[in-house]
Chain A
Amino acid sequence: MSPTIEITFTLNGMPKRISVDPTLSTLVMLREILGLTGTKYGCGEGECGACTILVDGKSANACLMFAADCDGRAIVTIEGVAIDRSADGLRQAFVDHGGVQCGFCTPGMVVQAKHTLDKQPHADRATIKRGLEGNICRCTGYKKIVDAVAAVSGTNS
């Protein structure tokens, strides 16, 4: 057993202090240790976006990030987005525009979309699609997800 590392960070706005194994991924820390299961495992190798979180406001794949690297950062997961009233419109847009089917990709999609819109509140459809390029959805065919985000950015045709 490797010695653990103590890290301090904010998680969905609240300070957290926790000891982690240096090999632990942020995804496993969130899901297994902290019980935040909204962030999903889809591949574990940075290829599907199901584990997308925000790290200091930028989107990142939790499966590729060591938990130890959360030290000193602000981490926001889908649970953080869900309690953020300013993001209600985005979540509601996913509901209204049919951007959710099985829903397994949805938390990652919502977090990634939030990141895109935070950067570019009026992102057009092409920008939205590029923003979601790293997020795989097997159910929807993406169109309704793009519709949802574009409804928020005001660029729905």
Chain B
Amino acid sequence: MTVIEKDSLIGKRLTKMDAPEKTAGKTRYIHDINLPGQLVGMILRTDRVHAIIKSIDTSAARALPGVHAVLTAKDLPQKGLGVNKDNPPLKGERVRCERDEIAAVAAESEEIAAQALRLIKVEYEDLAPLFDPEAALRPGAPVIHESKPDNVAMAFDYSHGDVVAGEAESDVVVEDTFTLHRVTHCCMGVSGIIADFEATSGNLTLYSNTQVPFLHKREFAEVLGMDPGRIRIIQPPIGGGFGSKLDIYPFEPICVYLAQATRRPVKLVFTRAEEFLASPTRQPAIVRLRSGAKKDGTLTFRTVDILLDNGGYTSWGATIPFVMMQTFSSLYRVPHCLYHTKAVYTNNPYAGSFRGYGNLQATFAIEAHMDKMADAIGMDALDFRMKNAQVAGEVTPQGMDFKTCGLQDCLTLAARDSDFAAKRSAYAARKGAVGGVKRGIGMASMLHVGGGAKIYPSDGCGTNIKLDDFGHVTIMTGASEIGQGSETVLAQLVCEELGVPMSAVTVVNNDTDITPWDVGVHASRTTFIAGNSAVGAARKAKAKILAAAAGLSNLPAEQLDLRGGHVIRAEDGESVMPLAKLLRSLHFSDKAELVTTSHYYEPPSVHQDKGFKGNVSAAYAWATQVVEIEVDTDTGIVTLLKVWAAHDVGRVLNRLGIEGQIEGGIVMGQGYALTEDMIMVEGHLKNAGFTDYKLITAPEIPEMSIEFIETMDGEGPQGAKGVGEAPAICMAAAIGNAIENATGVRLTSLPFTPERVYRGLKQGAAS
């Protein structure tokens, strides 16, 4: 008789299931896949920023040997893509930003396709351009879309309490305008798609990098006028997502149209320059914030006015106020809050969703004011935050229900580990000194959804599980793996239920013909939503297995459990029989039964009302990050020395994976704060490459110290909450506060490039 010891996987450092293949160069990304007979698709993009298209002459391109199809807008139905359906795949009448798609070719080779593009002649008549979002609202401004004569693509308004009353009881009121810049995802794998269409069956197979395969299926069907049932989306491993693949973009239907026109598979992959030019960006924002507090440190009110540069078309970027709002209304307890936002059309590149979804911008403004107000009332910056921090059990005026909330623990731990209070006052004492290198310490906290976000009709995820005759488990999940490690976490959660090792599990997550529905990878929802779904399916499988084992062993199912690949006696761990043997005896018996189960998990969150009130997520993630920096006041160079990150993650599932998410997020936030910037001159991107768009590299990373606060969320899988976006959110805010601590100068625009810092210090010293 064998006794099997209990051994939980939760909290362990599990290696990523797909990592060995990736280190061998065996993983086949979309760029590595070629179908027989495949043609190369390429897009002609405009070099104008705002113009009427007078004519497009494709005759020379069509005549070029090796060209199979040349398409322009007049070959396609004029259906708009995106959130406002304002973005036709190919533009026939007018262009509204530099990237705009004018024509597309499918050809035998890249060289021929490129040559064909050069042969296409386009005549334009330039229109008055619009680059400044503030100018977009002035009377007489050029109108970018006739359907929106005021240039407002989208507006969100929210309020609770009475800010006038709040201001009246304030002892200190501060006001600033913060200007946030434009950055882009820079996924290492550039965008691409392969479309394979069979005309007689009407079957369309797409090899796509999308983060939202099931929503995409519907959108493709709508745009293409197809039966969604004929569309199959296969997702090869993705070379980074970060939100960039959340919307359908013109290149995708264009590729399908090329495949339909040529009756050949067509592959369309961007160059890096094209990736910079034609991918969505993080939304640039102008945030006007007015905040108040009483002398005793109680927050009184917040008035927020945000202008977003939407660019030429509307993708998800226009909806970030939805998330920003939560931070303004509910990161700290604010009795009165008034919030207005507008996303306005310009002739700049358009914005999409990007890890953090507006929260980097919102947090930057709020946390600057938290420091400013603390200093104004002479209160310690940590104490001020602690006094206003949310706690578990709070339901905010916006309706967010914080069943678990580790914010005060995050603040305490990050401050303690970094010796925040002592350093902050020591560095502040030196901020008046002239010249040289100065040190600063800064803090920022964040709130983000951690249990999905109910925005679509369903925020759910489905899982099917099957066990084979050898006890091998296949998990079919709707949730995509985009490098974040969801595959491993889902396998881990299922192993925990079924008592099998990680090596006994395969995860299938990349084919809409096989996997059950999921709303997509966004809103840090996969561990929580897909995790709960996987646990649900596993529990059903377990119940089935134990019922069968009870029949075979004469022990009641309640006294049985699964562990180490065996059915065991729960009380002493004694093996009753190997799991594989049980599965076979079920299969090859009179019952002739296979163990397969299915579960759909819908979180207990609600759709917000028209005033944006309601508990939109089933759980919320919290964090505090403290940074220590050096500012060279003679050059303006800011060096990030160390980051202390304390995150309320509900519970740590895979320690190795979650550390990786947090470290990656910190460094992404560092790039946002210090180096990354899309330099636009009159609507033209001037730095479409890594030479001039500066990403952080290995020698520049800070020392990172990470603490986890485990609040054991009652709804989360094993207590876990989402974490994907959280770590990128605080960095710019904390660095801004640290620069002020070091120098006494409050910089309100990003990024903190040496030039901006140097100038800011000069002006600050002068004023």
Q: Which chain A residues have a beta carbon within 8 Å of chain B's beta carbons?
A: 31, 36-45, 47-48, 50, 77-79, 81-82, 91, 94-98, 100-107, 110, 126, 128-130, 132-146
Contact = CB atoms under 8 A, between A and B. Distances in A.
A79 B26 CA distance: 8
Interface of B: 13, 15-16, 18-20, 22-29, 31-32, 185-190, 237-242, 271-272, 482-485, 656-657, 659-660, 663-668, 689-691, 695-699, 701, 704
Nearest to A36: B25
A114 to B, nearest CB: 11
A21 to B, nearest CB: 10
Contact of B701 (A42, A82, A95, A142): A142
Nearest to B665: A141
Given A102-B237, A141-B666, A82 B24 contact: yes
Contact of A102 (B13, B188, B656, B699): B188
A43 B692 CA distance: 12
Nearest to B238: A102
A141 B703 CA distance: 11
B188 A37 contact: no
Contact of B697 (A78, A82, A104, A133): A133
A102 B690 contact: no
A95 B25 contact: no
A120 B666 CA distance: 30
A135 B689 contact: no
Contact of A37 (B31, B240, B271, B656): B31
Contacts of A142: 663, 667, 696-698, 701
A140 B238 contact: no
Nearest 5 Cβ contacts at the A-B interface = A38-B25, A102-B483, A103-B22, A78-B25, A104-B239
A88 to B, nearest CB: 10
Given A50-B188, A143-B663, A135 B485 contact: no
Contacts of A79: 24-25
Q: Which among A102, A128, A130, A132 has the highest number of chain B CB atoms within 10 Å?
A: A102
B607 to A, nearest CB: 32
Given A43-B689, A103-B19, A133-B697, A37 B483 contact: no
Contacts of B241: 102
A101 B485 contact: yes
A134 B527 CA distance: 33
Contacts of B22: 100, 103, 106-107
Contacts of A139: 188, 240, 483, 660, 664
Contact of B698 (A43, A48, A98, A145): A145
A82 B689 contact: no
Contacts of A95: 15-16, 19-20, 23
Nearest to B695: A136
Nearest to B661: A101
A69 B239 CA distance: 29
Interface centre among B18, B240, B704 (most CB of A within 10 A): B240
Given A38-B24, A78-B24, A130-B698, 16 more contacts: A38-B26, A40-B31, A45-B689, A79-B24, A95-B16, A95-B23, A96-B15, A98-B13, A102-B189, A103-B18, A138-B668, A138-B695, A141-B666, A141-B668, A143-B704, A144-B660
A137 B663 CA distance: 12
A143 B520 CA distance: 28
Contacts of B656: 97-98, 144
A141 B32 contact: no
B691 A48 contact: no
B28 A37 contact: yes
Contacts of B691: 45, 47
Contacts of A146: 698
A91 B24 contact: yes
A45 to B, nearest CB: 6
Nearest to B25: A38
Contacts of B664: 101, 138-141
B16 A98 contact: yes
A155 to B, nearest CB: 15
A151 to B, nearest CB: 13
B188 A44 contact: no
Q: Which of A48, A100, A106, A144 has the most CB of B within 10 A?
A: A100
A104 B25 CA distance: 9
Contact of B23 (A39, A91, A141): A91
Contacts of A100: 16, 18-19, 22-23
B270 to A, nearest CB: 10
B665 A44 contact: no
Contacts of B483: 101-104, 139
Contacts of B663: 140-144
23 contacts: A36-B25, A43-B272, A47-B690, A77-B25, A79-B24, A81-B25, A82-B26, A94-B19, A94-B23, A95-B20, A100-B19, A101-B485, A103-B18, A103-B23, A103-B239, A104-B29, A106-B25, A129-B698, A137-B188, A139-B664, A141-B663, A141-B665, A144-B659
Given A102-B482, A133-B697, A45 B272 contact: yes
Contacts of B18: 100, 103
B532 to A, nearest CB: 23
Contacts of A38: 24-26
A64 B689 CA distance: 15
A26 B391 CA distance: 58
Contacts of A98: 13, 15-16, 656-657, 659-660
Contacts of A94: 19, 23
Contact of A136 (B26, B237, B271, B697): B697
A132 B15 CA distance: 22
Contacts of A39: 25
A128 to B, nearest CB: 8
Contact of B188 (A36, A42, A45): A42
Which of A44, A104, A105, A145 has its CB near the most chain B CB atoms (within 10 A)? Answer: A104
Contacts of B24: 38, 78-79, 81-82, 91
B189 A104 contact: yes
A41 B485 CA distance: 23
B666 A138 contact: no
B690 A82 contact: no
Nearest to A126: B699
A81 B667 CA distance: 29
Contacts of B185: 138
A129 B696 CA distance: 12
Which among B27, B485, B665 has the highest number of chain A CB atoms within 10 Å? B27
B469 to A, nearest CB: 29
A142 B700 CA distance: 10
A129 B482 CA distance: 26
Contact of A133 (B16, B186, B189, B698): B698
B23 A130 contact: no
A125 B609 CA distance: 53
Nearest to B185: A138
A5 B667 CA distance: 45
Between B16, B185, B188, B190, the greatest number of chain A beta carbons within 10 A of the residue's beta carbon is seen for B188
A43 B25 contact: no
Contacts of B666: 141
